[in-house]
Structure 1
């Protein structure tokens, strides 16, 4: 009876991981810098929190570093007929928090923020 109990527990654990909503999976931060940039050794990049609520996406990005950060919100929609969107770049100045908004008509598949150094 014990091996059957362990197998059931393992199957339940795998099912929970596979059923986990996509929004709960962390997304990698995309950072774009120019090659040969002398400032590339300095700390850079706003800390961003992305929240998906139904078809609405909101991101708050706070820049704790002395250099400005150009952030953009990217929203990928679940359905093929629902258009994906990218916001215009917004400057997060030093010690500033900015809000970025996006949406889909229906479900959101993924949402993330990209960062670009000021040139």
Structure 2
């Protein structure tokens, strides 16, 4: 008998909450102009490794200048890892970055830095 009374009060409480108008319920509101998405950014880069040589081509289709760098990690412990000098990739521009190890290349990647317009 107690279970039915407890269940009845819970049912009434749920019915009251569900029948309340939408504006009366607490919820987060986001205005249309409040949430600004960041503008698109970043050059699209293709990296190719052939033996001990690395070549990367980066094309920037966006308005902001993208400063790109090529980072190379060499496979041998005695071979020095290298980072290229930063290159500003202007809008609608393609740049070529190169580097190498003495022996095998373990990995190569590109880093991006937003330089603004």
- TM-score over 0.5 (shorter chain): yes
Map of 2:66 onto structure 1? 69
Cα deviation per residue 1:42-95 (whole Å; 9 max; x = unaligned)? 100000000000000000000000110000000000000000000011000000
Q: Which has the greater radius of gyration?
A: 2
TM-score normalised by structure 1 residue count: 0.66
**Structure showing greater relative contact order (alpha-carbon pairs closer than 8 Å, 6 or more residues apart):** 1
Q: Map residues 87-106 of structure 1 onto 2, 5 A cutoff.
A: 87-106=84-103
Aligned equivalent of 2:78, options 66, 78, 81 = 81
Map of 1:51 onto structure 2? 48
TM-score normalised by structure 2 residue count: 0.67
> Hey, what's the Cα distance between the residues in 2 that align with 1:58 and 1:87?
11
Cα RMSD of the aligned pairs, angstroms, is 1.5
Gapped runs of 5+ residues in structure 1?
A: 1-39
The ranges of structure 1 where at least 4 consecutive aligned residues each deviate by more than 4 angstroms after the TM superposition are none
